[in-house]
Amino acid sequence: MIYQIKKDGTTLKIDDNVFFDKQPKEFRQLYDNARMVEIKDADGNVTGSTQTNNAEFDNCYIEVYENGRVIITLKQEENGTV
Amino acid sequence: MAQFNFKNRYFSASGADLLRTMNYVYFFSPLSDYDSGDGSRLAPYRSNWYYAPRGTTGLQATSALIFSGGVHKGSFNLGSTVSTYRHFTGNGMGVTILSLSIDQQAPISGGNNSTAYYRDVTINDLNHYISGYNGINHYIYFYNCEFLTTPAITTTALSTVYSYVTRSKIKELLSGGTITYQNNNSFIGINTTIGSIAGNLHTFERCNLIVNQASLDSYKNNYYAFDNCNFRIGTETEYTPLIGTTAEVLRETFVNRCIAAGLTVPADITDYGITLPLGRWIFTTNQIFEGITWYGSEINLFEIPRFISFGYSTIRGTKIPIVVGNNTPASIFPNSQSSVGLIYGTDSLSIASNIDITQRHKLFAESKIIWLGGKKKLTKLDIPNNLPALYGVLIDSLPNLVDKEANNIVEAGEMYMVRSLNENAASIIYNGNTYSSELSTRNNIFKGVAGVNSYTFASGSPAVYKINDILNYQSIQLRIVNKIPPDIITSGTLWRDNWYLVEHDSDQNNTTDYITYNGVNYKAGDSFLVEDVFTFTKSGNIHLRRCWDKNFNFDWYDEGSEEYSFWVNEQKPEWCDVLPEDTRCLMKNNHPLSAEMMRGEDGKYITTGHPEYYNRILGTSGVQSPDDIFIGGTYMQIRLLITTVNPM
């Protein structure tokens, strides 16, 4: 299944039947940046960051399983494929 | 006697090891006393209290609250005026039940957020109120939680609560605020429209589902597994099941019903080279149980080529069925080892109507011999149940209260609970304080202090019981061995009270050959207990292996005897207490390759339900044992003990 995904002005066509390490570099970088979550202390100061496996893009959520499988879930209002 | 200790690891919703990463960790138990609790491992705060547990007002804003097993039913006041990041973590769903009323007074100025993370708990009548500055956002994350009821999450009129639910088991949909279901949830027995729940890779089990054109068009790309569901499609007016048994037929039925109900089925979907109509959905019957997908089921076979896994758990289980008849291999069935008072049905055990759960009862059910098909590690045992824990009915092989009354002897450092011998309230005085049996005030638990060895009766007819396990660990029993005696039995006399396993001479999948014992035919893989009949006949290429005496006790066997020689250096078929969610053990001499488990001071094997286990792997004595050894073996038996009148 090929999805059109959007993130910060970038639009890419991504096939979810392709494993993560074979995906375009641009997509992998977008995902790696989006999966970073800031850790804050009690006063709201950023003290560090941690990685999650679920990244929010503009029109979808992307989860990468440990086996490299890419799961794309389009946000409800924009659900549809290209 | 060793004290039960909290577990060695607790994780946050994002997978961080809380004990290593959080500066402030507070432990809670419903069976700790109000006065001496300081939130530490061995003196946890008391959670079953209708006021703020001492010290919780002013708990650090960034902290982890670890809840023991049992029902937690108090009112928490978590006052704070700054951003808060709090983790509420339990021992596991079904084990730690949160019925708390949480008042989170935070924050009071703009720019600050409050964030709460729940993990490994069952949520039942949870209230979480967040007051504070209007217009700021509150975030609540649920990971690996079971929702029996919708948590009531409320805040001030101008603020919004955002809830995120991941890898959870949902029996009632959440409501209020903005709710996002992320991937891999298991929905059980709910009514919804396909597509109204966000996220991917969900399972829907016994649900009533509305299907409209948008469900098909917009959500066909999401992976869903539907098991035993009823559908109301398009113009249909009733929820009805799909007719058929195999996934292939059920898919065809679904597509035909969509067409008949005026919907347009989207073009076939090709996924990893497999082309099917609605190819990312699968429809099945009886392949998911309480969110766990069976190993080798059609859903499991659908997952493998697509590199996905459905539902909250990645475990693909093998069912130990509960049956009424006596020739289903590896099942739990009513035999002489089960107690009266339990009613057996298909995959169900219930308590008979003549059992009063407000009186003390121990009911038990035992499985046959379970051949694991070779030496295997156990990683999890799931015992889905809806026993009323709130009324003190649990699956637990360890008594939480020592049966015998304390008889006016109080040991320092031990916890005691006051109950009444009749229906009226009763109270005692210990160390100058009055403790009452009443649950309405929950001032019913005290801790023994040095130098004060007795209590005095104050009112009514009190009875004081020592609390054995303040952490309310809920264990089952199992016995597991690597080997059974090698003799192949084809004739002769059977031994009384011994379990025998039926093996085929060459093909363990054979279903035609059988052993007849006491009028019942047993095929390969089945087993039976010999009681009053000592003969058997065989039909085909089949034989028996003797396993063990039902009351196995190694001390019975004289040195040099056949039994002694076989078992002396082997793992022995002795019952051990195991926490189903944590199936680890210690091995003899702390060596992972030992043939036998380590024994504790009481002579029993040390598995997770043994009070020494967590103490040893935590190194509380100053010496630490390895924490990475799972219970393993080839032949196993499990026993479920259902006990009543547990502390609540």
Q: Which two tokens stand for residue B66?
A: 């670890």
Nearest CA in chain A to B199: A73
Contact B104, B129 (CB under 8 A): yes
Average pLDDT over residues B300-321: 94
Residues of chain A with C-beta less than 8 angstroms from the C-beta of B166:
54
Residues 6 or more apart whose CB falls under 8 angstroms from that of B334 comprise B324, B326, B342, B344, B365
The predicted pLDDT at position B337 comes to 76
Q: Which residue of A has its CA nearest to B83?
A: A42
Interface test with A, best of B200, B213, B215, B314 (most A CBs within 10 A): B200
Above 50 in pLDDT, residue B411?
A: yes
**B60/A42 CB distance under 8 A:** yes
**Dihedral pair phi/psi, residue B623, rounded to 5°:** -125, 135
Closest CB to B83 among A44, A69, A72: A44
CB contact under 8 A, B308 and A69: yes
Across B132-136, B562-566, B599-603, B632-636, least confident range: B132-136
- Given a cut of 50, whether residue A78 has pLDDT beyond it is no
Please give the radius of gyration of chain B, using alpha carbons only, rounded to the nearest integer: 27
The model's confidence at residue A82, banded by pLDDT at 50, 70 and 90, is very low
Distance between CA atoms of B366 and B473, rounded to whole angstroms?
20
Determine the distance from the C-alpha atom of residue B643 to the mean position of all C-alpha atoms in its chain, rounded to a whole number.
15
pLDDT tens profile B111-166:
667 788 999 999 999 998 887 666 677 889 999 999 999 999 888 767 788 899 99
B183–A61 C-beta distance less than 8 A: yes
Closest Cα in chain B, distance from residue A10 (Å): 22
Q: What is the pLDDT of residue B75?
A: 82
| pLDDT score of B79 | 66
Mean pLDDT of chain B: 90
B219 vs A63, A67, A79: nearest CB: A79
pLDDT at position A81 over 60:
no
Quick: pLDDT tens for A21-42.
Answer: 999 999 999 999 888 776 665 5
Closest Cα of chain B to A41: distance in Å?
7
pLDDT tens digit string along B48-58?
A: 875 555 545 56
- Domain boundaries, position A50: 2-78
CB contact under 8 A, B183 and A1: no
Q: Sorting pLDDT into bands at 50, 70 and 90, what band is B586?
A: very high
Q: What would the mean pLDDT of B271-298 be, rounded to a whole number?
A: 94
pLDDT in tens, B610-631: 999 999 999 998 999 999 999 9
- Tell me which residue of B385, B336, B400 sits closest to B365, measured CA to CA: B336
Which of A41, A67, A73 lies nearest to residue B183, judging by beta carbons?
A73
Tokens of B220: 């066909």
Contact by Cβ (8 Å): B384, B205: no
Residues of B in contact with A65 (CB under 8 A): 307-309
Of the candidates B143, B137, B76, B65, the residue with the CA atom closest to the CA atom of residue B104: B76
| Beta strands per DSSP E along B144-201 | 146-147, 152-155, 160-166, 169-170, 178-181, 186-188, 191-193
Sign, Cα dihedral of B343, B345, B349, B350: negative
pTM attached to this predicted model: 0.92
* CB contact (8 A) between residue B183 and residue A63: yes
Assign residue B75 a region: left if phi > 0, alpha if psi is -120 to 50, beta otherwise?
beta
Listed residue (B411, B416, B439) closest to B429, CA to CA: B416
B contacts of A1 (beta carbons < 8 Å): 221, 269, 271, 280
Residues of B in contact with A38 (CB under 8 A): none
Average pLDDT (B29-58) is 77
Tokens of residue B72, six digits:
């937690």
Among A2, B275, B303, smallest CA distance to B267 is for B275
Band (pLDDT 50/70/90 cuts) for residue B1 is low
Length of chain B, please?
Answer: 648
**Interface membership of A46 toward B (CB under 8 Å):** no
Round to whole Å and give the CA distance between B333 and B369.
Answer: 12
CA distances from B559 to B554, B563, B574 (A): 10, 9, 19
Q: How far is B433 from chain A (nearest CA, A)?
A: 39
Q: Is the dihedral of CA B507, B509, B513, B519 positive or negative?
A: positive
Contacts of B271 in chain A (CB under 8 A): 1, 17
* Chain B residues closer than 8 Å to A50 by CB: 14, 16
* pLDDT average, residue stretch B424-442: 92
Average pLDDT over residues B377-381: 90
- Distance from the Cα of B402 to chain A's closest Cα (Å) equals 43
Could you tell me the pLDDT band of residue B408, with boundaries at 50, 70 and 90?
confident
Identify any residues that bridge with B458 across adjacent strands, giving them in sequence order: none
| B112 vs A contacts (CB less than 8 Å) | 43-44
Residue of A17, A44, A67 lying closest to B111 (CB–CB): A44
Chain-chain contact of A17 with B112 (C-beta, under 8 angstroms): no
The reported pLDDT for the residue numbered B80 is 64
Scanning B298-360, the segments in alpha helix (DSSP H) are 298-306
* Nearest CB neighbour to A73, from listed B61, B113, B222: B222
Q: CA of A13, closest CA in chain B: separation in Å? A: 15
Which chain B residue has the Cα nearest residue A16?
B271
- Give CA–CA dist B129/B115, Å, rounded: 12
**Are A65 and B271 a contacting pair at CB < 8 A?**
no
Domain boundaries, chain B: 18-182, 202-315, 362-400+469-483+571-648, 401-467, 485-569
Of B218, B223, B307, the CB nearest to A79: B218
The backbone torsions φ and ψ at residue B202, rounded to the nearest 5 degrees and listed phi first, read -85, 160
Rounded-to-10 torsion of CA B612, B615, B619, B624 = 40
Backbone angles phi, psi at B28, to 5 degrees: -130, 140
Identify the residue whose tokens are 């292939």: B248
Return the closest-CA partner of residue B254 out of B287, B218, B230.
Answer: B230
Q: CB burial class (10 A; 0-12, 13-18, 19+) of residue A18?
A: middle
What own/partner pairs with CB < 8 Å and gap ≥ 24 does B610-614 have? B610/B576, B610/B577, B611/B1, B611/B2, B611/B3, B611/B4, B611/B5, B611/B469, B612/B2, B613/B584, B613/B585, B613/B586, B614/B4, B614/B5, B614/B6, B614/B7, B614/B8
Percentage of chain B lying above the pLDDT 70 cut? 96
- Reported as a single tens digit per residue, the pLDDT across B479-531 is 999 999 999 999 999 999 999 999 999 999 999 999 999 999 999 999 999 99
- Could you give the ipTM of this predicted complex? 0.87
**Which region among A74-78, B382-386, B551-555 has the lowest average model confidence (pLDDT)?**
A74-78
- Closest approach of A9 to chain B, Cα-based (Å): 24
Q: So what's the pLDDT on residue B107?
A: 62
Phi, psi of B590 (to 5 degrees): 55, 30
Strand ranges of the sheet holding B114-119, from the earlier edge strand across to the other edge: B45-46, B25-29, B62-67, B84-89, B114-119, B137-143, B160-166, B178-181
pLDDT higher than threshold 60 for residue B437 = yes
* Interface contacts A/B by beta carbons within 8 Å: 70
Distance (Å, rounded) from C-alpha B522 to C-alpha B544?
A: 10
Measured CA distances, B412 to B1, B408, B447, B450, B465 (Å): 13, 13, 7, 5, 14
CA distance B457 to B428: 4
CB B59 within 8 A of CB B82: no
Task: Give the residue among B615, B592, B354, B603 at the shortest CA–CA distance from B473.
Answer: B615
Tokens of B488: 């192949």
Q: Which amino acid is at B31?
A: L
Residue A41 with chain B: CB contacts under 8 Å: 62
How many domains does chain A fold into? 1
Task: Decide: B12 and B18 in contact? Cβ < 8 Å.
Answer: yes
Residue of A nearest to B201 (CA): A71
For the ranges B6-15, B298-307, B637-646, the one whose mean pLDDT is highest? B298-307
pLDDT score, position B47: 87
Closest CB to B14 among A1, A44, A50: A50
Residues in chain B with CB shorter than 8 Å from the CB of A3 are: 221
